[in-house]
Each structure stands twice: as structure tokens, then as C-alpha cells.
Amino acid sequence: RKEVEQDPGPFNVPEGATVAFNCTYSNSASQSFFWYRQDCRKEPKLLMSVYSSGNEDGRFTAQLNRASQYISLLIRDSKLSDSATYLCVKGAGGFKTIFGAGTRLFVKA
């Protein structure tokens, strides 16, 4: 089993929709979790850090469920510009992180 698993998608949603991605992880000792966004042929960019029970940043909400070992990302009022691949990342102890393979999102007009 991979340490970080994501549904690859793609998720196809209309503008204005709410969409949620889940990410499951193994090794419950992980202390830190992140969501990154990667546009086609570009580098990943940090979207949100998820350190405790979750946090919100504008239209984006991240939740962490330690008991079930998953984190989620909720995007409200989707915009065309939200189309990208979303990477779930967990700290692997110390200075390393493990990246999921990503979930592709397409937002259509």
C-alpha cells in the first residue's frame, strides 16, 4: 500500500460547483500534512498546510481526520482557474515529505 493515496480523477465540474477530494495515508505518526496545486507542466505550489483539525483559506477548506487517516480538500464556488492537479502531501518525519500522485480537476464554463 502506498503511504499516500489519492483518487486520480479526473473530476469534471461546472463553474460554481463545490468539489471535494480525499486523500488517505498510512503511518499514523505523521505530524504534518499539506495540499499543493500543480498546473500542467509547472512546478507544484503550496496551497495549504493542514496541521491540526483543519483550516480554511477563502474558498478552500482542508480537514484532517487522524482516526480514519485521511485528509480532505473542499473547494467552494469553483472557478475556471481552479483547474489543476491537486497533490496531497504528508510529512515523513524530519525533513522529508511524501507526495501523492495527485487528483486532476477540470472546471468547465
Partner 1 sequence: SQTIHQWPATLVQPVGSPLSLECTVEGTSNPNLYWYRQAAGRGLQLLFYSVGIGQISSEVPQNLSASRPQDRQFILSSKKLLLSDSGFYLCAWSTGLSNQPQHFGDGTRLSIL
Binding site for partner 1 (CB under 8 A): 31-32, 34, 41-46, 49, 87, 89, 91, 93-102
Identity of the residue, 33 or 78, whose beta carbon is nearer to partner 1 in the bound complex:
33
Q: Work out how close the CB of 9 gets to partner 1 at its nearest, in angstroms, rounded to a whole number.
A: 12
Pairing assessment for the beta strands 103-108 and 84-91 based on DSSP bridges: antiparallel
Q: Work out how close the CB of 88 gets to partner 1 at its nearest, in angstroms, rounded to a whole number.
A: 10
Tell me phi and psi for residue 90, to 5 degrees: -125, 145
Q: Work out how close the CB of 17 gets to partner 1 at its nearest, in angstroms, rounded to a whole number.
A: 25
Return d(Cα 6, Cα 14) in angstroms, integer: 21
